[in-house]
Amino acid sequence: MTVVRSLKVLARIDFPTGTLRLWEGSGPYLDADGNVWRSCVLGDDALDAIETAINAEAWTLELGISGVARDLADGIWQDMQDGNVIDSVIRILIQDCDDTDQPVGEPEVKFTGRIDNLRFDDAVQDRQIRSAIIIECTNRFALRSLTNGAVLSDVDQRVRAARLNPEADADRFCERVPSLGQKTINWPVWN
């Protein structure tokens, strides 16, 4: 039995021009499939932001990534200028590791969203340009909307969710709404 001693936080972004793999750490990380994950530094509050997004406590996830290599930042900037960044899929994964910091099993997807906005923040430090990228993305829960005074419809919500996020599983958020409209609730009689 392998005991999990540490975790790696991985971010996979699927741009139309290719897949960007980042991990919170130093140096390159080679996974079991032979994919190279580039190092980055997540912002101070990144884990809290990821946790609130996973728990659906936040409508959007704002993820600050710094320490990105200049060639990588330039490529992302060019993709953004070409209009290829918005609606790209981002996944946050957690990789379990053993006591020698080696991966145990497959990484588990904890968050899937779509990039809604991208901001760049470049600063000069010790005569080097340090790029930081702030990624704003929405998750499935942000796809659910309700006009003021309207009633959620299971059919309408499934169609809307499938149109906005076609790769996701079916949205089952409202499937019990029709049965609740026919239900009578009797209040208990207290003596």
For residue 150, pLDDT beyond 70: no
Question: Would you say residue 1 lies in a domain?
Answer: no
- 138 with 148, same domain? no
Rounded-to-5 percentages of helix, strand, coil across the chain: 20, 40, 40
Structural domain boundaries, residue 97: 6-142
Residue 78: predicted pLDDT: 85
- What totals of helices (H) and strands (E) does the chain contain, helices first? 4, 8
Residue 144: predicted pLDDT: 52
For residue 27, pLDDT beyond 70: yes
- 20 with 59, same domain? yes
**57-95: pLDDT as tens digits:** 666 777 777 776 677 778 888 888 888 788 888 888 888
For residue 50, pLDDT beyond 80: no
Q: Based on the structure, what is the number of domains in the chain?
A: 2
Question: Would you say residue 71 lies in a domain?
Answer: yes
- 84 with 163, same domain? no
Calculate the average pLDDT of the chain: 76
- 29 with 108, same domain? yes
